[in-house]
Amino acid sequence: GAVVSQHPSRVICKSGTSVKIECRSLDFQATTMFWYRQFPKQSLMLMATSNEGSKATYEQGVEKDKFLINHASLTLSTLTVTSAHPEDSSFYICSARGFRRDVSGNTIYFGEGSWLTVV
């Protein structure tokens, strides 16, 4: 089963509103979580790295005031798209890095992704 859960899997919001996407590690503590964006038929682009209890580190070109990332606990990171516009419509995927019981090594697990459509 899934070890990283994203919610919602699909969301439609009106232009100008904000929308929050959650990323949860289900059976392990994620010291670090990553947020990616994927446009249709394209690759994944890293947006930011978040560590529990500290500010996220954003990649060049990503607006930190538009894409707010909060990593409040070792099992939850949230991405809030503020004042969303149609061009923010995309597939957003998170990944979590941590140690799982009975799994050797520090492993990366991806969520199932969240489709955001801004109308």
Partner 1 sequence: AQSVTQLGSHVSVSEGALVLLRCNYSSSVPPYLFWYVQYPNQGLQLLLKYTTGATLVKGINGFEAEFKKSETSFHLTKPSAHMSDAAEYFCAVSEGNTGKLIFGQGTTLQVKP
Q: What does the CA dihedral 68, 92, 33, 1 come to, rounded to 10 degrees?
A: 140
DSSP alpha helix (H) spans, the chain? none
- Cα separation, 106 vs 55, in Å, equals 22
Binding mask 7-36 for partner 1 (x = CB under 8 A): -------------------------x-x-x
Mark the segment that binds partner 1 (CB under 8 A) among 61-69, 71-79, 82-90, 91-99. 91-99
Determine if 42 is a binding residue for partner 1 (CB under 8 A).
Answer: yes
Q: Cβ closer to partner 1: 75 or 95?
A: 95
Helix (H) or strand (E) holding 100: none
Point out which residues bind partner 1 (CB under 8 A). Answer: 6, 32, 34, 36, 42-46, 49, 93, 95, 97, 105-106, 108, 110-113, 115
